[in-house]
Chain A
């Protein structure tokens, strides 16, 4: 079946530190991959996406590369800010599928 596994949190970093949140997936077919972010008290919103192997999604300084050989889509940011504190969800949708499969979410705390 299709599944998404992401690193457990919480992750606590100091401002300007480098961020990596690992995400690996299992999927039949050719999935599209997503990172969603949920700020406190809000719904999820799309952060970035990649729809085929070797694509790199990027937004707001965050990046993730679709690695088919390692079935991974790790989220990275070179210098985090306090405002990046949120819960991050990795997700996939398989071509022809109707559901999006979400990972368990990783909570990020950034200290000033």
Chain B
């Protein structure tokens, strides 16, 4: 158990809909990262927050948005869903900035868009 929690575990929805994925980082971790993992296993970095502020952006679509709240939990909002958005979405947290510090991953949310 990494200490990072994600809800829901599974989500099935239809094209055009909007969903919200939730992540709670490890206690005390200020950084939250979101990743998308496609069926062919590639891991794509979406966005990072640090103590409530957006810190880095990756290949995040305009239909996707995220935020980190004062209690440090984060939400990833996916709208106008398409079939291609079906994937595993992982959240990770890190104790502090510094290149030698690893990330701790949650168990993921499996999104299926029908």
Binding site for B on A (CB under 8 A): 30-32, 34, 36, 42-46, 49, 51, 87, 89, 93-100, 102, 104-105, 107
Contacts and interface: CB of A to CB of B under 8 A. Distances in A.
A36 B45 CA distance: 15
B2 A45 contact: yes
B41 A43 contact: no
B106 interface: yes
Contact of B99 (A32, A89, A105): A32
B2 A43 contact: yes
B48 interface: yes
Interface of B: 2, 4, 31, 33, 41-43, 45, 48, 50, 55-56, 58, 90, 92, 97, 99-108
17 contacts: A32-B99, A43-B4, A43-B106, A44-B92, A44-B105, A46-B103, A46-B104, A49-B102, A93-B100, A93-B101, A98-B48, A99-B56, A100-B33, A102-B43, A102-B45, A104-B41, A105-B41
Contacts of B108: 42-43
Q: Which residue of B43, B97, B106 has the most chain A CB atoms within 10 A of its CB atom?
A: B43
Contact of B105 (A43, A49, A93, A99): A43
